Structure 1
Amino acid sequence: MTRLRLYKSQRLLVLDGAQGVLRSYPVGLGFAPEGHKQFEGDGRTPEGTYTIDRRNPESLFHLSIGISYPNAADRAFAAAQGQSPGGDIFIHGGPRRGIDPTNKQDWTAGCIAVSDRQIEEIYAMVRDGTPIDIYA
Structure 2
Amino acid sequence: MKKYLFFYIITSLFLFANTTSPPKSKGLKADLVTVVKSQRKMYLSCKGKILKKYDIALGGNPVGHKRVRGDQKTPEGKYKLDYFKPNSSFYKALHISYPNRKDHQHARKLGKSPGGSIMIHGQPNNREIKKSFFQRYNDWTAGCIALENDEMDEVLHLVNVGTPIHIKP
1:31-57 deviations in whole A, cap 9, x for unaligned?
Answer: 001100000000000000000001011
* Aligned residues between the structures: 134
- Which residue does 2:52 correspond to in 1? 23
Separation in structure 2 between the aligned mates of residue 43 and residue 100 of structure 1, nearest angstrom: 16
2:109 paired with 1:80: yes
Q: Which runs of 5+ in 1 are unaligned?
A: none
- Which residue does 2:99 correspond to in 1? 70
TM-score of the aligned structures, taking structure 2 as reference length: 0.76
2:142 paired with 1:113: no
Which of the two has greater helix per residue? Answer: 2
Within 5 Å, give how 1:1-136 maps onto structure 2.
2-18=31-47, 20-95=49-124, 96-97=130-131, 99-101=134-136, 103=137, 105-136=138-169
- The structure that has the greater radius of gyration is 2
Separation in structure 1 between the aligned mates of residue 147 and residue 56 of structure 2, nearest angstrom: 5
Q: Which one is further off, 29-38 or 124-133? A: 124-133
Higher relative contact order, chain-length normalized (CA < 8 Å, sep 6+): 1
Query: Runs in 1 of length 4+ with deviation above 6 angstroms?
Result: none
1:8-48 deviations in whole A, cap 9, x for unaligned?
Answer: 00000000013610000000000001100000000000000
Which amino acid counterpart does residue 121 of structure 1 have in structure 2? E
TM-score of the aligned structures, taking structure 1 as reference length: 0.94
